[in-house]
Structure 1
């Protein structure tokens, strides 16, 4: 009996996938057990029944709005080489895939799916996602540093918030300098590359990053992208706040902003797809700082996850069907894409 090499490779890939995802799944399960164990499950139903769902529709509309703003920001990074419709559906497809598959494949999916519906090549799109994520990280850090002093009651919190803004401003200025000195930065990296072989693993990421920050040499385009991205973040904060008002009528927007920053930082923790367990634990912890009981926190976490999953699943699934794709077919192709980067062109 002859063994097909492709079957062997596929089996190896499955085993490797399982080894990589298993720790995250175990962490998620442990955190979910903790969250549900710490809440009063008998009171949970009562909390959900007594909630003020008038805020739910505005919260969902804010989420749709932030998706549209993010699509506009991404389209600006792509230099308008994709239509709004193409960018929006690729974005929502990627977010939906991130919610159901491991390894944050949704980010790769965005580039992969958009490359199939536009003249853009896969590796032309990747740098735009890299720079988008880098800017998102800067904003998350800024939100965290700006809100933390108010949360813990540090004297002179306003000055600390201004300092956080200055730190992010300096980071953006550094990116502008790097964008204008790409050749020099790349030369320095290559010299380090010869002395530190482990840097070889970062080659594709460094090249994508340097290509992505070209936008910093185009002030008008950068400001346009920044406007849409800031609008998306403002709508995200409002989305978190409105959902919080469903359960906590006296909630403050500071609470939602701090929670959002903590959730953004918590993504780095290994977990099941969509940060399952991690986000719920962060919500319970953060709300504990504001004297919100664990049962209300759990109710909020469940509603937040359900609302976000629904709002990304509807346009995401529609986009996949409109493109003639299926979830599992996309997953198989993405795993091939991520394990064979040399074949990642169109």
Structure 2
């Protein structure tokens, strides 16, 4: 049993994360709305933007959002195929929606921890193996959204030429990320030797042994990368799913009469996806509004419309994903309901335990 001091430390850390996220979201929201609030008629103009918006886009946005997360579940099936065969609708899609739905209501991306732990229990797999597949998802997501962001920044009109230089730096970082992943998967023994050489002077032998077990379990979860056909399928699904998400942003901008070329949508998509990785309040409040404002203010001075479009996109996605996640938590996850309720108080490091 943990001591009262350790329990206080865990709860204290949790509240520090929550407080930090709220501060980040508050700052983002202030930066996103400072130009808007400088106009005394800002609220009435934002209300007019909502009143004049074309809400016919709501149905295609809902359909596209469902397809986006279904493709995520399909990609997860490919990532897990070397260690087991799973049904997308029965085994994977519910846990994907639980994870993303709970991300909208729990701090510090705890929904991902819930998803990993519940699915590992459901499929009788090691937590570290499942976690490594989710990490690989994030790697493919990062590569894809940064690629789309780079395409938008290079080819859209109206940006400073120096942006191309910064985009090249991003491309180099993406290349380094891919190279590191390939070295880990294809030259695992070499990676272990590097880890030993770097960490053996500073880590106890017992800790180093546990790290070896985690890395071995992790490389099992990354086995799909070794199979060319699986890798091609994973990359194709990643690109298709994020292009669908970009189309959702395109529809949201079109609804409010804002500049909505697909290149602009790619830039908003890329910046929003990167911003979602920043610790913030549950649901990424403020972060999404700031990302919309940073991009669209370059192409339009309609700040009320920009803010309204960001709220429309954000609220639509939030409601769909959160309600779907809660539904599956109360149906598919009913047998694990007690554990799911305890998870917000579990330290995130639990996701790294081997069993």
TM-score range, shorter chain: 0.7 to 0.9
Question: Map of 1:222-301 to 2, 5 A cutoff?
Answer: 222-248=231-257, 251-301=260-310
The residue that corresponds to 2:78 in the other structure is 76
Deviation sequence 1:213-270 (CA, Å, 0-9, x none): 3222111222222222222111111111111111126521111100111112223433
Q: Give 1:337 deviation, angstroms.
A: 5.8
Structure 1 residue 111 and structure 2 residue 106: aligned? no
Greater mean deviation of Cα atoms: 147-156 or 232-241: 147-156
Q: Give 1:338 deviation, angstroms.
A: 2.8
Report if the CA contact (8 A) 1:243-1:300 is conserved. Answer: yes
Distance 1:156 1:15 in 2: 42
Report if the CA contact (8 A) 2:75-2:237 is conserved. Answer: yes
CA pair 17-176 structure 1, distance change in 2 beyond 3 A: closer
Question: Map of 1:187-202 to 2, 5 A cutoff?
Answer: 187-195=193-201, 197=203
Q: Give 1:111 deviation, angstroms.
A: 1.1
Distance 2:346 2:163 in 1: 52
What secondary structure sits across from 2:222 in the alignment?
Answer: helix
RMSD value, Cα: 3.3
Structure 1 residue 26 and structure 2 residue 19: aligned? no
Deviation sequence 1:319-338 (CA, Å, 0-9, x none): 11112168885252354363
Q: Give 1:177 deviation, angstroms.
A: 4.6
Distance 1:210 1:295 in 2: 48
Distance 1:41 1:339 in 2: 44
Report if the CA contact (8 A) 1:63-1:239 is conserved. Answer: yes
Greater mean deviation of Cα atoms: 77-86 or 207-216: 207-216
CA pair 166-5 structure 1, distance change in 2 beyond 3 A: closer
What secondary structure sits across from 2:200 in the alignment?
Answer: helix
Q: Give 1:36 deviation, angstroms.
A: 4.0
What secondary structure sits across from 2:104 in the alignment?
Answer: helix
Q: Give 1:77 deviation, angstroms.
A: 0.7
Structure 1 residue 128 and structure 2 residue 133: aligned? yes
The residue that corresponds to 1:12 in the other structure is 9
TM-score by length of 2: 0.83
298, 320, 334: which one pairs with 1:324?
334
Greater mean deviation of Cα atoms: 302-311 or 332-341: 332-341
Q: Give 1:176 deviation, angstroms.
A: 3.5
Q: Give 1:209 deviation, angstroms.
A: 5.0
Report if the CA contact (8 A) 1:175-1:213 is conserved. Answer: no
What secondary structure sits across from 1:289 in the alignment?
Answer: coil
Q: Give 1:27 deviation, angstroms.
A: 2.1
Report if the CA contact (8 A) 2:128-2:353 is conserved. Answer: no
The residue that corresponds to 1:338 in the other structure is 348
Distance 1:304 1:182 in 2: 42
The residue that corresponds to 2:107 in the other structure is 102
TM-score by length of 1: 0.85
